[in-house]
Structure 1
Amino acid sequence: MTLTNIDHEKQIYCFKVLYAFLVVLLLRMNNPCIGCSEREMQALLAFKQGLVDNDNSLLSWGREVQNKDCCQWDGVYCSNHTGHVVKLDLGDQSLQGTISPKLVELQDLEYLNLSFNNFRRSQIPDFIGSFSNLRYLNLSNAKFGGEIPYQLENLTRLEYLDLSSDEYGWFDDSIYAKNLNLLPNLSGLKHLDLSSTNLSVVVGWLEAVNMLPKLRSLILWWCDLPPPIISSVSVMNSSKSLVHVDLSYNNLNSSIFQLLSGTHTNLVELDLSRNNFTGVVGWLEAINMFPKLSNLILSGCNLPPPIISSVSVMNSSKSLVHVDLSFNNLNSSIFQLLSGTHTNLVHLDLSGTISPVLLVGWKQLICFLNYQT
Structure 2
Amino acid sequence: MQGPGMCLKLFLAFALLLLQCVEGGEVGRNHRDANVTGRCIEKERQALLAFKRGMVDKFDVLSSWGLEIQKQDCCRWIGVSCSNQTGHVLQLDLSYKVMDEHYYSLEGKMISPKLIELQYLHHLDLHGINFNGSQFPNFIGSLSNLRYLDLSDTLLGGKFPSQVGNLTNLQHLGLSFNDFTNAENLDWLPLLSSLRYLDLSGTNLSNVLDWPEAINKLPELTNLTLWECDLPSPILSPLSYINSSKSLASADLSFNHLSTSIFLWLSNYNTSLVYLDLTNNFLAGSIPDVLGNMSTLAHLDLSNNQLEGGDPHSFSRLCSLQSLDLATNRLNVSGQLAKFVQILFSTCAQNSLEILDLSWNGIAGSLPDLTKLSSLATLLLNNNKFSGVISGTHFSKLSKLQVLDFSWNDLAGSLPDLTNLSSLEILFLHNNQLSRAIPEIFGSVFSKLF
| TM-score normalised per structure 2 | 0.71
Structure 1 contact 241–264 (Cα < 8 Å) conserved: no
What is the CA-CA distance between 1:355 and the residue it aligns to? Answer: 3.5
User: Are residues 1:193 and 2:203 paired?
Assistant: no
Other-structure match for 1:157: 169
CA RMSD of aligned residues (A): 2.7
User: Are residues 1:83 and 2:95 paired?
Assistant: no
Number of aligned residue pairs: 341
Other-structure match for 1:288: 292
What is the CA-CA distance between 1:276 and the residue it aligns to? Answer: 1.0
Runs of 4+ aligned residues of structure 1 deviating over 4 Å after TM superposition are none
User: Are residues 1:271 and 2:271 paired?
Assistant: no
What is the CA-CA distance between 1:60 and the residue it aligns to? Answer: 1.4
- What letter is aligned with 2:54? G
Question: What stretches of structure 2 of length at least 5 have no aligned partner?
Answer: 4-9, 26-36, 96-102, 385-450
User: Are residues 1:323 and 2:347 paired?
Assistant: no
Other-structure match for 1:94: 106
- The structure-2 alpha-carbon separation of the partners of 1:56 and 1:354, relative to structure 1 and needing over 3 Å to count, comes to same
Structure with a larger share of its residues in strand: 2
| Alignment equivalent of 1:106, drawn from 106, 118, 127 | 118
Q: Which has the larger radius of gyration?
A: 2
Distance (whole Å) between structure 1 residues aligned to residue 312 and residue 53 of structure 2? 65
Other-structure match for 1:62: 66
Distance (whole Å) between structure 2 residues aligned to residue 180 and residue 127 of structure 1? 20
Other-structure match for 2:380: 369
- What letter is aligned with 1:141? D
Other-structure match for 1:342: 349
Other-structure match for 1:29: none
What is the CA-CA distance between 1:206 and the residue it aligns to? Answer: 1.0
What is the CA-CA distance between 1:288 and the residue it aligns to? Answer: 1.0
Per-residue CA deviations over 1:17-63 (Å, capped at 9, x if unaligned) read: 9xxx9xxxxxxxxxxx9612111111111111111111212111112
Distance (whole Å) between structure 2 residues aligned to residue 60 and residue 202 of structure 1? 44
Distance (whole Å) between structure 2 residues aligned to residue 209 and residue 262 of structure 1? 11
- What letter is aligned with 2:291? I
Structure 2 contact 341–368 (Cα < 8 Å) conserved: no
| Alignment equivalent of 2:216, drawn from 210, 213, 216 | 210
Distance (whole Å) between structure 2 residues aligned to residue 308 and residue 267 of structure 1? 20
- What letter is aligned with 1:139? L
The secondary structure found in structure 2 opposite 1:359 is: coil
Distance (whole Å) between structure 1 residues aligned to residue 173 and residue 371 of structure 2? 43
What is the CA-CA distance between 1:368 and the residue it aligns to? Answer: 2.1
- What letter is aligned with 1:130? S
User: Are residues 1:359 and 2:360 paired?
Assistant: no
Distance (whole Å) between structure 1 residues aligned to residue 310 and residue 227 of structure 2? 25
User: Are residues 1:140 and 2:148 paired?
Assistant: no
What is the CA-CA distance between 1:354 and the residue it aligns to? Answer: 5.0
What is the CA-CA distance between 1:282 and the residue it aligns to? Answer: 4.9
Distance (whole Å) between structure 1 residues aligned to residue 152 and residue 268 of structure 2? 32
What is the CA-CA distance between 1:345 and the residue it aligns to? Answer: 1.1
Distance (whole Å) between structure 2 residues aligned to residue 87 and residue 108 of structure 1? 9
Other-structure match for 2:127: 115
| TM-score normalised per structure 1 | 0.84
Other-structure match for 2:76: 72
Structure 1 contact 34–82 (Cα < 8 Å) conserved: no
- The structure-2 alpha-carbon separation of the partners of 1:72 and 1:80, relative to structure 1 and needing over 3 Å to count, comes to same
What is the CA-CA distance between 1:121 and the residue it aligns to? Answer: 1.3
- What letter is aligned with 1:183? L
Q: How does 1:118-133 map to 2 (within 5 A)?
A: 118-133=130-145
Structure 1 contact 297–325 (Cα < 8 Å) conserved: yes
What is the CA-CA distance between 1:267 and the residue it aligns to? Answer: 0.6
- The structure-2 alpha-carbon separation of the partners of 1:327 and 1:282, relative to structure 1 and needing over 3 Å to count, comes to closer
Other-structure match for 2:409: none
Other-structure match for 1:244: 250
Distance (whole Å) between structure 2 residues aligned to residue 335 and residue 307 of structure 1? 10
- What letter is aligned with 2:275? E
- The structure-2 alpha-carbon separation of the partners of 1:297 and 1:282, relative to structure 1 and needing over 3 Å to count, comes to closer
What is the CA-CA distance between 1:336 and the residue it aligns to? Answer: 3.4
Structure 1 contact 235–263 (Cα < 8 Å) conserved: no
